[in-house]
Structure 1
Amino acid sequence: MTPADAHAMDERDPELPGQLLTAERDVLIPLLRARRESDFALRTCCPGWTVRHVLAHCGAALRRVVEGRFEEGVFSPESNDRDIAERDGWSAAQVVDELERGMGEAGPVIAKAGGVLDGVALGEWVHAGDVREAFGEPGAYAGESLPYALPLLARLTRERGHLPLHADLDDTDEPLRLGDVSGERPPARYIGDAATLVRLYAGRPLVGTRYELAGAREGELNIFG
């Protein structure tokens, strides 16, 4: 890899997080509005959280971004629990309404933040996968928004100095390079589908998946743990 190639990989696209959010909004919100109120009580892979809890957390996080409310301890487990508790009396429709507004309004704010909020967009997308999985819907951690999510994941892992990894994905034409490719550690190697790669980086359950991982342990890939 030449220095020019490395620079191109690291260059931030400020519109990418917003594109990911709006692309996901356009497929997730209709799915949510078609579900019964009781479906929002289904358990997700997030410990202690139902679908409703996940969506309330997502809507609250985006509202904080839009309103610029980042007090000390924001996005901590305690802060997340308070945000969810504040929405206990809301209907599922109200929770979805807030989420829809946030997914449409947060992009420009994230773009202007210089990169510090880009991970919020990726986290929202991962949580959308948590909801799909709880519903038994196809496309968890994949789907139409994947072309926006993968380059964002790759850039965030590089910026955070994550271990280098070369991913040969079954469902994309080009390999994906993640982590600090300029470091001394030889790149790990992943072979499998993109959704499973996302599960590894997000610390989501791997039951029923098929993949090959060499040069790294599963837990080393988790960027949210």
Structure 2
Amino acid sequence: MNVSTLRPRSALLAVAGTALVLSLTACQSDGDTGSTSAPAATATVASSPVAAGATTGATAGEGTGASGTTGSAGSAHSAGSKGTAGGSTDTSAGASGTTGKQVTASAPVCTAGDVRVTAATQDGPPYTHLVLTAKNTSGHSCRLTGFPHIQFLESHKQDVPAVAKSKPASPVVLQAGAPAYALVKLSDGGADEDTEPVSAFSVMLEGDSTVIAVTAPGSEGVAVDPAKALTGYWTPELRNGADDF
């Protein structure tokens, strides 16, 4: 065998092997570089809230977009808390209502000179109840407090008792020309009752000692049983239930 012929062939094989190694190394480093660059780009996008928000606006149908929409709703709720502050405005409006109540409470108490009191029978015979009407004739507002203090007979000087359940929840304020009412029980309507005829009787308003003379309705007046007589409180209108006695 010729030695000189073997040497060049070995040298060629060595050179070819080196080239192959270099080629494989280059391919491997190219592949590593590509796999490293893709995750780096993804991480950058995910860490940018602005970009995420922009993506949400563009792709509302995607899962990320749904999450972003929830975030936007959260911002809306935050804005809503400012709206709650607007609720404070409603509260201040309520305060205005309170001021109105203060004005109402400051109206003077009605006196005998402020109202005209009349009486009418309620329902048909036997006439067991009267309706007193107090109409404000003063030309200004006034408060009609409590109940009418009624005395039917000279022989019974005590006032007719008042029925507590008829007391209204709020003060009765009469505007000029407005009426208030009080239901008054005269008797039970029985034939055997101890009644007396009354053609006129006296009424006093709470807070005023002036006696108002009221004419009883009917040509013969009304029959009153002092033991059964009752009166309701002054109210803006007669109410079923509270004024049934």
Whether TM exceeds 0.5 here: the answer is no
TM-score of the aligned structures, taking structure 1 as reference length: 0.23
| Greater per-residue strand proportion | 2
TM-score of the aligned structures, taking structure 2 as reference length: 0.22
| Greater per-residue helix proportion | 1
Higher Rg = 2
